[in-house]
Structure 1
Amino acid sequence: MSGVVPTVPEQPAEAMENQIKSPTAAPAAPPDYNSHFVPGSAGPAVPPSAGLQVGYYVPQQPGIIPLYQPTGGTHAIQYQPGKYPMTQHAPVMWMPGPAPIPSCPPGLEYLAQLDNIHVLQHFEPLEWMTGYETNNRYDIKNNADQMVYIVTEDTDDFTRNAYRNLRPFVLRVTDCLGREIMTMQRPFRCTCCCFCCPCARQELEVQCPPGVTIGFVAEHWDLCRATYSVRNQKRENVMRVRGPCTTYGCGSDSVFEVNSLDGGSDIGSIIRKWNGFLSTMGNADHFEIHFPMDLDVKMKAMIFGSCFLIDFMYFESTPPQHSSR
């Protein structure tokens, strides 16, 4: 019949459903992916390409994720104020490590490049308020305010609080890597007997590296001023330290001169800077040590050690004892 229009034969409903689910059928709209995410098949991690920014980490092995360490070229990480409570600390600037020097004890290369250093004692509020003696701590800096060493006292609680400024102590000097490069030891000396008796005189032993003695600082009896002799490892006198005659640390700097044995030439000085009564009461002393640039580095270390024996003997004031009345 010419008037009949041919039609497409009807397909079963199951065949039509399979055609809709065919993988070749394209979706009506692209998926809404995030702008930073690119879909792809899972596979082994690849090395970072040149297009990645410096500071980002692409894991090379599963399960190994190192801590983020900013490198050159990256911007400082900034946090929204108040969202991440963090304590801000001033950065500690260390003196650049010098190259090793032949016949120089490890760690003393810093002193070979310096002709003066600053010894800054930490202020301990708890010690001042309660009278409980704590271990002393010192920062050693150069003129550029760069850290050179850290000195920490290592004395047990009973000894510190029983003997106070007369206590025997061990001071450990560490560098920027935390290595102990020098040890200073003060043995206990009874002061009950006559001051002119040798057994009552104070002494400090300096070891560098720890366990190897390089010299001693010995007190000499004097009627009106502090006098010390700097000795080598054989206990032979090589230098002399003489303090002022007036009361130490009362309104002005206290200068301890380092002279030759005959007293004819000045080698250096140890100056206790006057920083006010609050610094004095809080045992926050500041010493400035001067020595020639070309002086033997071991002798520099001995002058450095003399500063701590002077500090404990004359400027380590006893904290106030609060009465129970």
Structure 2
Amino acid sequence: MVSEGAVPTVPEQPASGMENQKMLQDPRPDAPPDYNSHFAPGPPGPAGHPGGLPMRYYSPQQPSASPLYQLTGGSQRIQYQPGKYPVSNQAAPIWMPEPTPMTNCPPGLEYLTELDNIHVLQHFEPLELMTGFETNNKYDVKNNLDQMVYIVNEDTDDFTRNAYRTLRPFVLRVTECMGREIMTMQRPFRCSCCCFCCPSARQEMEVQCPPGITIGYVAEHWNLFRAVYSIENEKKENVLGVYGPCSTYGCGWDSVFEIKSPDGVSNIGDITRKWNGLLSAMADADHFDIHFPLDLDVKMKAMIFGACFLIDFMYFERASQRNRRR
């Protein structure tokens, strides 16, 4: 008998039954959810390309919109590339704001359209100086405001680097603020044992932007008195010439490589290897300044930028090796 006014209650269920009911209501999987890739599809592309621009080159996030991390106990904020710099008390480098994507411009070269001067700074490697073991070269590329534009990393195995030294074939990978590779530079092996005037002994480097698509070549030309190169387009047609000083091993002064028109008359710009005192004399820590006209074709700007690295490997990597042998 149930007394009048009593509230009916639900009969108690066994503990095992309650657990089974909770499991049915909570269908979460045992495995962790899949994490989304940091690559994001780009803005809508032109007609016939519903997928937009390639995912590996563009992201809807601008560098200025990337996460800003608050320093403890203050209002100062720092910005850095995710995954590239550890969280520490040191302020990370500031990146140049990403320009708007442009038509008829290889992805990633939009930065160069806004610049007429860039600085290429090679990382100093103390282990290489002390032991003589050749390591992969690393470079920071900055603008006049000391903002990072690119990072350049050499991708060569240990045996090749230390067996062939400055003659080694190499691959240089250029990445931008989001860590995406926007340019690749490849130098094949060329033997220097034969006559210097032989074409097979002349050094050459291919520049690809984006990786896999050749935009030009930097080719050495034999000259008895000075370093001479030609900057060629993808069809290997001469577009610009590079003329170095009579002596590239100057101690105490800068080495200037002039960029001129194919006829060698008009001066277009220059690649200057700055003298940095003991770092220039004893270690691989070169500093290059590159000047070109602001309105120069962006592909030719990229080719002048690439010529800087072939010059570095051919002439300024040797200084540290001679000092180590001494």
| CA shift for structure 1 position 206 | 0.1
Per the alignment, residue 119 of structure 2 pairs with: 118
| Contact preservation (8 Å) 1:249, 1:272 | no
Matched, 1:230 2:231: yes
Q: TM-score, length-normalised on structure 1?
A: 0.73
Secondary structure at 1:309 match in 2: helix
Whichever residue aligns with residue 195 of structure 2, its letter is C
| CA shift for structure 1 position 76 | 4.0
Alignment of 1:1-325 (within 5 A): 76-78=71-73, 87-317=88-318, 318-319=320-321
| Contact preservation (8 Å) 2:248, 2:315 | no
Q: How many residues align?
A: 249
Q: TM-score, length-normalised on structure 2?
A: 0.73
Per the alignment, residue 40 of structure 1 pairs with: none
Q: Distance in 1 between matches of 2:192 and 2:292?
A: 32
| CA shift for structure 1 position 75 | 7.0
Q: Distance in 1 between matches of 2:71 and 2:230?
A: 53
Q: Extract unaligned runs of 5+ from structure 1.
A: 1-62, 65-69, 80-85
Q: 1:71 to 1:155 in 2, by over 3 A?
A: closer
Q: Distance in 1 between matches of 2:158 and 2:307?
A: 24
- What percent of counterpart residues are identical? 71
Q: 1:132 to 1:96 in 2, by over 3 A?
A: same
CA-to-aligned-CA distance 1:67-101 (integer Å, 9 cap, x gap): xxx989x974239xxxxxx8422221000000011
| Contact preservation (8 Å) 1:154, 1:172 | yes
Q: Distance in 2 between matches of 1:300 and 1:226?
A: 20
| CA shift for structure 1 position 247 | 4.0
| CA shift for structure 1 position 278 | 3.0
CA-to-aligned-CA distance 1:131-161 (integer Å, 9 cap, x gap): 0000000000000000000000000000000
Name segments (4+ residues, structure 1) moved above 3 Å.
318-323
Per the alignment, residue 27 of structure 1 pairs with: none
Q: Distance in 1 between matches of 2:70 and 2:190?
A: 58
Cα RMSD between the aligned structures?
2.2
Whichever residue aligns with residue 171 of structure 2, its letter is V
Q: Extract unaligned runs of 5+ from structure 2.
A: 1-31, 34-65, 75-86
Q: Distance in 1 between matches of 2:198 and 2:189?
A: 14
Q: Distance in 1 between matches of 2:261 and 2:189?
A: 28
Q: Greater share of helix residues, 1 or 2?
A: 2
Q: 1:247 to 1:211 in 2, by over 3 A?
A: closer
CA-to-aligned-CA distance 1:196-242 (integer Å, 9 cap, x gap): 00000000100000000000000000001000000000001111000
CA-to-aligned-CA distance 1:144-201 (integer Å, 9 cap, x gap): 0000000000000000000011111000000000000000000000000000000000
Q: 1:75 to 1:296 in 2, by over 3 A?
A: closer
Secondary structure at 2:311 match in 1: helix
